């Protein structure tokens, strides 16, 4: 099964990478084995997201009216950058709103990196 290395950039992935770093550095772990662990992480993380996570999120930008009121037009929420490269979409949002069932987060600027989900099913 194909996997994405995408999730290695998450907090848990970075923690694993650092850990493996240290252990390879100290000689307790071979680089090959470290890579195998990372590959396994790719699989496990993908699987966990598929099977264990049920929540939904909506992503929007701060409405222009609100944005202009608070930022005088400078920070009005919008899609700042979009990019599609090697089947990876990247969006950079200015003044975005993330909502899920129990919380809402406001973010001045956020980057969204998304791989093509179809690649996993192939």
Partner 1 sequence: MAASTSSVYVSVIEDVINKVREEFMNNGPGEDVLKELQGIWEAKTMQAGVVNNPIERSAAKGTPGSGVTPVHDLNVPYEGTEEYETPTAEILFPPTPLQTPIPATPIQTPLPGTGDNLYNIPTGGSDYSANESGSSNGGVNAETKGGRPSPYMQPPSTWMNHRPPLDVNIAYVEGRDEVDRGASHQPPTQDFLQMNSAKRKREDFPAQYQAGGFIPQQDGAGDAAPEKFEIEVSGGSTSIASRAWSEMLTRVRSSTPKIPQLDGPIPDPYDELSTPNIYNYQGTFNEDYNVASTPAPHDIPVSTPAPVVQNDLGDDDDDEPPLNENDDDELDDVDQGDELNTAHLVLAQFDKVTRTKSKWKCTLKDGIMHINNKDILFNKATGEFDF
Contacting partner 1 within 59-118 (CB under 8 A): 59-61, 64, 74, 77-87, 89-93, 96, 98, 100, 102-103, 105, 107-117
- Give least dist CB 77 to partner 1, A: 8
Nearer to partner 1, 70 or 113 (CB): 113
Residue 47 within binding range of partner 1, rule CB under 8 A: yes
What is the length of the chain?
122
Give the Cα-Cα-Cα angle 43, 115, 17 (nearest 5 degrees): 45
- Give least dist CB 34 to partner 1, A: 6
Helix (H) or strand (E) holding 99: strand 88-99
- Give least dist CB 26 to partner 1, A: 7
With beta carbons less than 8 A apart as the criterion, state whether 94 and 78 touch.
Answer: yes
**CA–CA gap between residue 113 and residue 17 (Å, rounded):** 19
């Amino acid at each position: 099964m194909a996997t994405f290395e995408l999730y290695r950039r998450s907090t848990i992935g970075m923690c694993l990478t650092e850990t493996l770093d240290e252990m390879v550095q100290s000689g307790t772990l071979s680089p090959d084995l470290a890579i195998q662990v990372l590959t396994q992480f790719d699989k496990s993380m993908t699987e966990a997201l598929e099977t264990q996570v049920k929540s939904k999120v909506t992503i929007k930008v701060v409405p222009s009216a609100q944005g202009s009121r608070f930022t005088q037009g400078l920070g009005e929420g919008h899609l700042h950058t979009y990019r599609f490269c090697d089947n990876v979409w990247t969006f950079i949002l200015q003044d975005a709103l993330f909502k899920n069932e129990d919380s809402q987060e406001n973010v001045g600027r956020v980057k969204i990196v998304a791989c093509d989900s179809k690649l996993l099913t192939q």
